[in-house]
Every structure is written in C-alpha cells, then in structure tokens.
Structure 1
C-alpha cells in the first residue's frame, strides 16, 4: 500500500456499465448490452495480459447460451469446431478400468450435441464480437477496489496502481490506477473472485446459504501423433488415484482437432488428508494404462490450474445488490453434475444485460436490481442447477461410486424432483485432519515423459509477474504457517498449491515460510484451502499471472 504522502489523485472515466472480468459471463453480458442498446457505453476490465490469458477450462461446451447470443455462431467462424462423437465414463482402479454403460450413468454426463473447445479461444472470439459491437476492452488492468457511494451502493471500480515496489513505495515507473464510474457494475471475475468475496461479505449475500465448495482442476494440453488422435472423443473417469487417499474428484481426457489432447484431474478440495498433493495425484493419473495410451509418444505443450465452484444452489449467494450484479463462477453458477459451467455462466451474463438494460431505459442507476432474482429463477440455467442440486453433496457424503448411484436415481429417474435437498455444511478448509492422524503419501518421482515436476509445469503456463511489487498473497498473521499449520498439518500449502508457490525452507535462523509469488497461476486454492483461513489472494499488477495460449 502507498503511504498517505504518496497518494495521488486518480483520473476517472464514466460508463453506463463496467464489467469486471473478460470470461464467458462478462463478455456475454457486454455483448448483449450492446445488442440491446448500441448507444450504451460499456467497458470490460481484464486482469490478464490479453483476453484469454487467464482462461482455463476442460472444456466441453454446451452451445445453448452461445446460440442465444449469436444464433449464427457457426457462420461467424466461432472456435467451436470439434463435435463430441464418442463419450466414455471409466471407473479406474490401480491396474485397469471398467466402462460404465451409458444406461447407468447420470444423464448429465452425456454430451450429445456438445463441442470440445479451448475456452480461452472462445473468449477471444467473444471479445472480438464485443469490440465490433462497440464495447471497450482493457486487458492488463486489474480491478483492485470497489467504489461505493455514501448511501452504500456500488458505482464502479478502481484499477490497481502500477509501479509499486516490494517496499510499498512508488518506483520511477509509477502510474496511478484509474477509477471507472458506472451506473451499474457487473462482477464476473470467475471462481473465488477477489472483489466478489468482498461484496458477499459487505452485502451479506450468502445469508442462509451453505458455505461454497470447490474443486481444483489441473490440466495439460498434449500434441500427439496422428495415429493416436481421435477428434471428438470425451473420456471422464472416477476412482483411482484419488480414492486411495479417500479423496473425491475425477479425471477427464478430450481429443481436440489438430492432433491435440487435453488431460486433467479435478480434486475435490474437501479432502481430509493434509498429505494429499493434487498436483502429484494428477501426475500419477497420467500413468494409468487407460490414460497413458492416449499420451505416450506425445509432447506436453501447456499446463495450468484453477479452482472451480461446485457448491450449487445451496451455496449460491444472492446475485444482486445496490449498484450491480455478481454473475458466472463469481456467484457459483457451474453445473457440477455436468462438470460444465461456461453455458450457465454465459446465460447469467445474458440475464444480467437484459435486467440492466431495462433499468437504464427507465432512467435508473446504482439501484438494487431485485428483478434479476425472478429472471434467473425463470431461466433454464436455474432449472439445470435445481435438478442437479444434490449431486455434489451426495459425492461428498457417499463418495464417487455410491454418490453417482444416488445421482442416477435422483437425476435419471426422478429428474431432480425428489422432495429433499441434501446438505453439505462443512467448509472445505475445515475438513483437514491433523497430519498425525493421516498416512503420509509417497508420490513417485516424475519420469519426464508422462509425469513432470512443478517448476517445469509452471514454465509451460507462461506465468510472469513483475518481481519488484508487493506480494499479492497476503498473510493475516505471518506466524501461523510455522507456529500452527506446520506442526498440526505439516503445512499443507506446500502440497495443495499446484505451482510451488509455498515452501518451508531451512535458513541460518531456522525454518522459514517462503512465498514464491512469481509462480502463482491464480488458481486461488490457497485462499480456499488454508486451514487457518490466513491467506488472502488479491490482484497483482495488471497483466501478471499465466498466459495460456489455448487452454
């Protein structure tokens, strides 16, 4: 933070609507706003160096919302090319696998009519359309502060100052942030949004809700031989290796066009054994014969990680407040039973634009858009989430196999209409047991062919931060890692972080807790899983973080 004598007056720019985040939700909202009212002034702030730089998802896209936004998306040459033609669900054990017949799989796992995509490239396409419609997009500018009127309503955001050194003092390159004033502000930051967290707390948006739940998704992009390429194949897996440590989650493997394969593992962050390393579980996963067969002889070309919100309706906060809306994964709109959230995020953006357009047409500004609630509940996105509301709690309560059996009965046979809603009231950070109560896990060393170390993986994420800046990973109490987390949990940050950000190092004065903030891929896992809730992720200088090419 700058001292008072260093504070300078910030310039401001007025808009009708400011959107925070150039993901599928935010860009859909921006496009729809300009479709509805070409004269509306709309801008989008994106903390990544370019649109798509921080976007990572599996991803199998259900094109429903895209078709609502751009009915002729195929003629527009959208990067949505590889239609799903094969769909497999495998239950893995240590040596082999069993294919689950489609008849017995939850119908939410069927992908007829869906497409395998790079979500980063889909967002780049949406950004092109937005700019053609007149939306102003500012990549490399991170919204770091919410602006409030005296009456408490939101009236915009401020971008972070640039050129602040680690000492907190301005460098010669210092440039103050900019205030963007808006009649309405849409927050679409993605999972565990830095500003979204503040809004939820300030406006008590999660009153009466269960805590949000999360998974950590780790993904790689591989280039394989033409002989191994099977464009349109979708494989989802459950069981090994996570089941060996009593951990829930599942894997995925998708064949794209151009002989590319994406492979990943989602580890449920409700796991209890502090020795679990999601990164190392993923490295093991690729050695399973059913997965290795797709990758052997190929080349790993990209790596990334991000958390996903998976609590569903039970955990979804109220999405409207005075002056703005919370949409997409910032509000937890992902359909965990489908392992898809892009289409529901986009739909929330379309609804946001329509409600804001009505308010602007009526001459309103900075009001509480209470009509959004009814519009959302009348939408197919809400209906989807209602049908699958018990999927996540069932997985937590009974595990992947029995949880999926319950989901088959609930979703396939009763279409999600069973007259109860399951509860999952323990936050993910509170599930860890003491290290002394759990078995240590001896992970195999990477072979450099299918499995790799963290640092070489982070290198492939193209992650970069200005080194001389204050750390964007804030400790509320700097003594907690060594005084509490190390003796009680063997400091799990060393393992739950998929980028090697946190280390316990030995120095001349004994052990120290080291934060390598330059490695951070912005997955937010530390903000979620730290058992003391001692770590807060805030935005670094704009443009910092990963630079995903087509993840």
Structure 2
C-alpha cells in the first residue's frame, strides 16, 4: 500500500472558480507588494480549469477591474459588450416586452459583458500560475482535516483507484494531506465541505433559510441571420406557473453563438414538475423558436445556484478558514449575476488571510473578512436586493410589483426586511395533491432528452468506482419519496441519474445511474427527505464543459 503524502502551504484554496482564483491572485499580489513569500495552492476537482464551470453569463467587471486592472491588455476573453436589453413576460402564445423605463436598474446591463465563464476562469488560472500559485486540477478535496483545538487544519484529497465494493484496484493511490495556516473554501453552490462546515460551526444560525435554484443551459451555434451579438434577453412567465420562481436567459455572443438557459427555484411545490422539461419547452415559444431553427446545439450543462442573498448568507469565517463565492451564497439573484461577487469576496478573504499571516497568526478566525465585507460596495449592492427572493415566495405577481417598488422607487433603501425560515426541500407537496404535468416528447431538433444532453456535456465516471450519490437509508426512496411524492428525483435531476424500475418480483427499486451525474447538486438540495447526500467521486471526473 502506498504511503499517504503530506504537503503544507500558507493558504489552501478548495475550488478553482472565480472566487478561488481571485483569492489566490490577491494573496500573491499582496505578497509581491510587501516583497515577501507566501505559498498558495488551489485544488480543483475538475479534470481541467473550467471543466465544472457553468454560468449564464453576463459579467459585471467591477471586481475584476479592482483585481486585475489591465485585464483587457492581458487578453482576457471578455469582449462582447451588451448592446441591447430585453425583458419579456411570456404567456403560452405571446410575449409582452417591458419598456426600459419600467425596468429597475438590476435588470439593465449597460457596460456589462457577455462571457463564457469557463474561458474566463482558464485565463484567470493563467494569471494565478504566472504569480506562482500551485494549481492541481483533477484532485477532489474529499475530507476536512481539523487540528486538536477544532480549527480547520487543511483537507484530504480523495483516494484514487477504489472499486465499487471498496477494495483497492491495481491503480490505487491514497489521498494526500494538504495542510495550511488557512483554508479557503470556494467549491461553488452547495459544496459538500461547505455543508459540513456550516453544520459543525453552526454558520447559518439566525439567518434566513438558504434558497437555491437549478440553472440549465445550452450553447447553440445559430443561423447567421439570427445572430445579434450583444443582445441580452430575459423572460418571466410561461412555461412556469405563477407560483413557481424562475425565468430564462438568452445571450448572443459573437461567432453566431447563443447561450440559452432557465433557472427554476428549488422551492417549487409540485413534485411532477421537471426543470429540464420546462426548459426544453421554453425554447418552443413563438417569440424564441426562430432563434434555434436551423441551428445546432453544441453543449449542455446544469448547476445549482445559491440564491437566498444577503439575508441567507452564513457566517463567513470560522477557526482556520472562510467561505467565498457561491460556497457562501454571494449571488445577486435580482441581477442574475454572481461572478463579480465571487471575485470580490475572494479578494476580501485574501486580504484578511494575508493580514493574519503577517501578524503571525494561524488557524484563528478571519474576522477582518466579515468586517471588510460589511463596509464594501458588494454589501451595499446585496442589501438593496435583500428581499428579492423572499418576495417570490409569495408569488410572481406580488414579487414583480415589489421588485419594482423596492429597486425602482426606493432604490434599495426600503425600511422593511422579510424573513424566510422554510428550506427548499420542505416546500414539496404530496403528489396526490398536485396536478400532473404532461410534457411533449422531444423533437431532436429544438428539444431534446436527458441522455443526449448528458452526452454533449462530456460527462464521465468510472463504472466500477463507489457511487458518489449516497443514501442515508436505502429504503426511503421507495417507501417515502415514491409513495408520497411520486418519485420526484426522477424529474428534478437534469441528467437521468435517478430512475425507478421494477425488480424481477415486481417491486419498485431506485436505480442510480451515477455515471450520468453532472455535479449540479440538485438532488442534495431538493430531496424532500434529505436522504441523498452528494459526495465527490474520484478527482477529474464529471462533466468537461467547454467554455460554459
């Protein structure tokens, strides 16, 4: 058996998304300014930088301007400036455009850029490596290591070469211990280590219950006659009913590329609803269908979003580390933007960690991070939108009106704050009390099935490795979820991972097709019994998105 190796750094960062890379870059910048050395390591579970990155995305470059002011000269893949905004309210057959003067500023994108965030992340990785950051793609941080006093001491990467039955194959390699003075967690929405930290250190006490959404996205190459680089379209309404939070985006890049997607709030009530199917039929709307006719779908993916906003932000620091980016929930759901917040949060955490290291402190709590955030433009921005998601708990009509009132009339300076104490999984109603939804069959041209979609996400997992979608109690999916909720996991998963089948004796059984998993984390969030627990597979596995 191989011996477990150990490495030590000043700072370890888990996750090479915008937040994690910004943390690393800022740490190295500060060290250069002080003419000092600091060792920084990033672990990334994807096979390469950007492999697991999926976002709309319209990017506000404010935080990037602060972090890397010369990003244009350095060749950042950020070039398609927004030229036109449209916001449509859809019914099944019609689309009503909202006049610009009625739109709150949160829906306006003048000065922002349409980007392929995976490409931006790859470029940020190059900047980090040029500064001396060690980046290890293909290594999943599987466990947190704690010091004797309970502080976070680092992480342990997952073992490689383990068979499904738990035995070691000829390719077995034990995970590596990575130890640090501070560990920054930037796993993205519903990170499995962030979930553990939140429970261990009670980071979410006295906060609103966190709210999530699932974002499903496709990248299309459209007919040149349909291409309008710089055009941004958002919609609300059909195909979702008025009680279901969600909306769509359609962004025109250059080179005849169009990014289209839908976000569905995971607080939906009807267990018969399928976010994947809702997204597919959205593309058939008369106002949108022509965009895709004659085009070719070239990429697909899905990812959860942490959307509760400022009122649901957990405590950001704990002994030995901090949460940044979507790991904490810095997304501004009202603006449908999170990359700028991720970069800013990473930069602030880096400044706090560097100050602690300068003072000779290790594994204490980075309270400066929280204080800096409270004084930042990011806090001001999120505070303006603090009630956005809470209003949608009351239905689309009142939420639309109150968003206009709060952000259009009050400019975010409203004298009230809303509470939400109900987690998303508790919102699902029994199947017998809800109307079934019949979805049309895909045509293979504009609408598609799950399996063909997973195929173009380049998802791969070893068939013989342990299933990374674990069940606390194997009897619950049939005894509770199928019996009471109609087996919602077969519908809320956008990748066909969960499937109820009949055994030879005629009994129902949940089959888990773990090879299909695109790591969206929806199952970990929406399972009504919280029986499904997502854990990382072997490093480097999952989707390999190309500039999504």
TM-score (norm 1): 0.98
Query: 1:232-273 deviations in whole A, cap 9, x for unaligned?
Result: 0000000000127x4220001000011100000101111000
Residues 1:123 and 2:121 are matched in the alignment: yes
Q: Counterpart of 1:427?
A: 423
Residues 1:59 and 2:35 are matched in the alignment: no
Contact 2:19 2:343 in 1 (8 A): yes
Residues 1:437 and 2:437 are matched in the alignment: no
Between the aligned partners of 1:134 and 1:531, the Cα distance in structure 2 is 45
Distance apart, 1:60 and its partner CA: 0.3
Q: Counterpart of 2:10?
A: 16
Between the aligned partners of 1:404 and 1:368, the Cα distance in structure 2 is 40
**Larger CA deviation: 333-342 vs 406-415:** 406-415
Query: 1:283-325 deviations in whole A, cap 9, x for unaligned?
Result: 1000001221211110000000000001011111001000001
Between the aligned partners of 1:347 and 1:546, the Cα distance in structure 2 is 27
Task: State the Cα RMSD in Å.
Answer: 0.9
Q: Counterpart of 1:472?
A: 468
Q: Counterpart of 1:330?
A: 327
- Kindly report which structure 2 residues correspond to 1:314-393, keeping only aligned pairs within 5 A, or say none: 314-393=311-390
Contact 1:107 1:408 in 2 (8 A): no
Distance apart, 1:9 and its partner CA: 4.3
Between the aligned partners of 2:61 and 2:400, the Cα distance in structure 1 is 25
In the alignment of these two chains, the number of paired residues is 543
Contact 1:149 1:155 in 2 (8 A): yes
Q: Counterpart of 2:87?
A: 89
Q: Counterpart of 1:286?
A: 283
Q: Counterpart of 1:190?
A: 188
Q: Counterpart of 1:26?
A: 20
Between the aligned partners of 2:521 and 2:270, the Cα distance in structure 1 is 19
Q: Counterpart of 1:397?
A: 394
Between the aligned partners of 1:60 and 1:394, the Cα distance in structure 2 is 24
- Kindly report which structure 2 residues correspond to 1:406-425, keeping only aligned pairs within 5 A, or say none: 406-425=402-421
Contact 2:245 2:395 in 1 (8 A): no
Look up the SS of the partner of 2:224 in the other structure. Answer: coil
- Kindly report which structure 2 residues correspond to 1:462-541, keeping only aligned pairs within 5 A, or say none: 462-509=458-505, 510-541=507-538
Between the aligned partners of 1:297 and 1:242, the Cα distance in structure 2 is 26
Contact 2:244 2:395 in 1 (8 A): no
Between the aligned partners of 2:249 and 2:290, the Cα distance in structure 1 is 14
Contact 1:84 1:112 in 2 (8 A): yes
Between the aligned partners of 1:239 and 1:526, the Cα distance in structure 2 is 25
Contact 1:106 1:404 in 2 (8 A): no
Between the aligned partners of 2:255 and 2:420, the Cα distance in structure 1 is 42
TM-score (norm 2): 0.98
Between the aligned partners of 1:291 and 1:319, the Cα distance in structure 2 is 41
- Kindly report which structure 2 residues correspond to 1:255-294, keeping only aligned pairs within 5 A, or say none: 255-294=252-291
Query: 1:82-115 deviations in whole A, cap 9, x for unaligned?
Result: 0000100000000010001111122101000000
Look up the SS of the partner of 2:24 in the other structure. Answer: helix
Between the aligned partners of 2:152 and 2:219, the Cα distance in structure 1 is 40
- Kindly report which structure 2 residues correspond to 1:163-312, keeping only aligned pairs within 5 A, or say none: 163-243=161-241, 246-312=243-309
Contact 1:91 1:98 in 2 (8 A): yes
Q: Counterpart of 1:42?
A: 40
Contact 1:474 1:538 in 2 (8 A): yes
Query: 1:447-485 deviations in whole A, cap 9, x for unaligned?
Result: 111000000000010000111111110100000010111
5+ residue gaps, structure 2, are none
Look up the SS of the partner of 2:491 in the other structure. Answer: helix
**Larger CA deviation: 44-53 vs 408-417:** 408-417
Distance apart, 1:196 and its partner CA: 0.2
Distance apart, 1:405 and its partner CA: 1.4
Look up the SS of the partner of 2:288 in the other structure. Answer: helix
Between the aligned partners of 1:112 and 1:41, the Cα distance in structure 2 is 39
Q: Counterpart of 1:152?
A: 150
Query: 1:409-450 deviations in whole A, cap 9, x for unaligned?
Result: 111211211111111221110011110001111100001110
Look up the SS of the partner of 2:178 in the other structure. Answer: strand
Between the aligned partners of 1:205 and 1:270, the Cα distance in structure 2 is 22
Between the aligned partners of 1:306 and 1:547, the Cα distance in structure 2 is 13
Between the aligned partners of 2:149 and 2:488, the Cα distance in structure 1 is 42
